[in-house]
Chain A
Amino acid sequence: MMNCHLCNSDSANIQIQIHNHLLQADQTIQLCQSCADARGISPQNMKREQIESVIEEINALQGQQVKCDKCSTTLLEIRKNSQLGCADCYDKMGNSLETDLRRFHKRSSHECLPVIISEKQKRQRQITDLKKELQISISNENYEKAAILRDQIDNLSLL
């Protein structure tokens, strides 16, 4: 038998494979029937948002045991008192704290330089334009040009 990642009972019978973009890796989630039912998830019917919120829940559960080695504040305490213990807590609490911060501020980092945002937007726009051009090249059967465009898109997407 497998342990349920949410309630830790040993009756998990649902396994979900998902690609975690943050960790850049595939992740397996195990749920028992009642935890899955409570969240409206069934193997036949599951939406990406549902799975993502389960991942957040699991991260939160794991995170609550995370302790700052400098001041020994735990994530659970931070959530309870709305107070961090020291500057190091910020780096220690990782993704779970960032989820909270995004909920409070709609942003999860102070690297808010408009230049960075617009660079990214500029790249996105370039990619969209190139994709259109790629479609045209393909429909014109100009595969040499299409290959170059495809490489350009790949390069931009990697940035």
Chain B
Amino acid sequence: MSSLPDHFTNSPLPWLNSTSDCDSIVLSCEASLSRNLQGIPFPNKASATQLLKGQQKVQNALMKLEPPLFPYSFALADLRDLDRDLLSERRLLPANFESFSNDQSYLYCSNDESISCLTNSEDHFKVSISGKDNCLNEISQKVQQLDFQIQQHIQWAHSPKFGYLTASPLLVGSGFRVSVLVNLVGLELNGQLNKTVTACNRLGWNINSLMNDNERFPGNIYQISNQRTLGYTPEQTTRSLQELLSQISSQENNQRKALAFRSPEKILDYIGRPYGRLLYSHLAFPAETLHELLLLRTGVQLKVLQNLDIDDINQLITDTMNAHLNYHQLGTHAELAIEQVRSQKIQALIAE
């Protein structure tokens, strides 16, 4: 029945790092390059035959890579909604994949999920590399090397004036998007976050809450990514993100120290409330639960919750994500609502 390899459905979400260190601000990072084939319209205007032709070209180029990188490939059209949702929770598919996927959309994936390619989505081709903690320089170099290797077998649409041509005008030029997930609990709790967001936006960076429903559950995990691609090389973009990140990290560290010194009760309350809610809830809903579990995770990192282990929390967050939970519960526990199953799973860990 299951169509995804076990590794994809059981192992912790690849974007959660497992450092239980109070300085751990960066969870993970990701770098990607978007490319299009010469002579074929972008996917939104390409015919079925053109999409197929493009897919074959890219597939051929990927198969020529030495050593082979992608043991897994999935035709998105062959997967169930649940499978696609699960891949999206693991950030192997972009959140907006539904508005862009077609019959010729494929996902290629390395063994450890850190390298992936998406074909015929918003662009003909997108290659992404992710890694835990701050490994920006490494992944940024790696993704460029990989694109260089692929370019030995394929010609991308490129113009001297506009660089690499992408369907979205927001990506043209380098086609390079780099992002980091950061935990900004200190800035958030001290009411400094808006200042950081404004400063980032002014400098050409997007900063968004990880949560989809960030009105009700803002959370304290944020994604920072570059807005500008035209006229900037991947190296320049990566270097300025490193600089920005070191500023934000030092601010965040200062805020955390200030909190611990001046008002430790603020942190205790901030972590204690979701802990209590999770402990005494009977129905745990997905968005709220993710929000609260991420706060518990922060509590472990800040050494507020001493009895919990970061790896256990990561596994719990993974197992209670909507698609992951449904994947494993399908057909079992028929008498219980999924929210009840989720709640029981959480209590089994935190009530020990």
Interface residues of A (CB under 8 A from B): 70-71, 73, 78, 81-87, 90-91, 97, 100-101, 104-112
The 6 A-B pairs with the shortest beta carbon distances in the complex, nearest first, are: A110-B163, A107-B231, A85-B45, A105-B230, A86-B41, A87-B157
Q: Is B38 a contact partner of A83 (Cβ separation < 8 A)?
A: no
Q: From residue 166 to 181 of chain B, which have CB atoms closer than 8 A to chain A?
A: 166-170, 172-174
Q: Is A104 a contact partner of B42 (Cβ separation < 8 A)?
A: no
Main secondary structure of the interface of B (DSSP, over half): loop
Q: From residue 183 to 226 of chain B, which have CB atoms closer than 8 A to chain A?
A: 204
Q: Which residues of A contact B163 (CB under 8 A)?
A: 110
Q: How many A-B residue pairs have CB under 8 A?
A: 89
Knowing A100-B169, A106-B204, A108-B230, say if A90 contacts B159 (CB, 8 Å).
yes
Interface size, chain B (Cβ < 8 Å): 31
Nearest-Cβ distance from residue A136 to partner chain B, whole angstroms: 38
Nearest-Cβ distance from residue B46 to partner chain A, whole angstroms: 8
Nearest-Cβ distance from residue B181 to partner chain A, whole angstroms: 24
Name the one of A82, A107, A111 contacting B228, with C-beta atoms under 8 angstroms.
Answer: A107
Nearest-Cβ distance from residue B90 to partner chain A, whole angstroms: 26
Name the one of B41, B162, B233 contacting A90, with C-beta atoms under 8 angstroms.
Answer: B162
Report the Cα distance A71→B36, complex, angstroms.
15
Nearest-Cβ distance from residue A100 to partner chain B, whole angstroms: 6
Q: Is A109 a contact partner of B165 (Cβ separation < 8 A)?
A: no
Residue of A with least CB distance to B159? A90
Nearest-Cβ distance from residue B225 to partner chain A, whole angstroms: 14
B232 at the interface (CB under 8 A from A): yes
Report the Cα distance A112→B169, complex, angstroms.
17
Nearest-Cβ distance from residue A15 to partner chain B, whole angstroms: 34
Q: Which residues of B contact A73 (CB under 8 A)?
A: 45
Name the one of A70, A91, A101, A109 contacting B169, with C-beta atoms under 8 angstroms.
Answer: A101
